[in-house]
Amino acid sequence: MWQRLPADLEPPSWQLRRDFLLAEVRPGDRALDIGCGAGDFTAAMADAGAHAIGVEVAQAAVERARARHPGLEFRLVPIEGPLPLEDSSFDLVWASEVIEHVDDTARWLSEVRRVLAPGGRLLVTTPSHGRLRVALGGVERFSEPLGDHLHLYTRNSLRSLLAEFGFGEIRVRAVEGPPLLRRMLLARAAR
């Protein structure tokens, strides 16, 4: 996919997601951008004073991130298996438009929790799939048989999932679009 995308493509809902992220970044934070893509959110964290690195499963995305943001660290990580990062090594983990693509959500969230320091914050954005939205659009619209969205989340399902994996102080809100038809979930949780 990354080879086909234009080099100057702005991430969808860039300003909204950036504002959500930067409201949580503190100068000096050790920050991890999981699924960093072209590295723009990693760069935003670094610009806000965090010591940020980005990780990605796609080699083409890592190459693009390194080219766009040569002063930052970007690593290629395996699509399955543990993250090659130390336990409790990050104060903030950012995973924007990633969780819906993850095959083994239990393993992934366990790894996220492992690398997050006690008291650290997890920020997640993902498409919202409330009942009315799915009823009006049909499940096929949001989960094509050969598509890359493997999981659909509602505010309640995302909140429950994060709680099940030991996260606390969980806040999930739906944004973008009219009430009952919001398109995106913004979640914040603490380890």
Just list the catalytic residues.
Answer: 97
Report angle CA 12, 14, 15 to the nearest 5 degrees.
145
Residue 19 token pair: 């504002």
What is the CB neighbour count within 10 angstroms for residue 190? 15
Q: Are 187 and 181 in contact (CB under 8 A)?
A: no
Terminal Cα-to-Cα distance of the chain (whole angstroms)? 33
Task: Give Cβ neighbours of residue 146 (< 8 Å, ≥ 6 apart).
Answer: none
Instruction: Give me the phi and psi of 175, to 5 degrees please.
Output: -140, 170
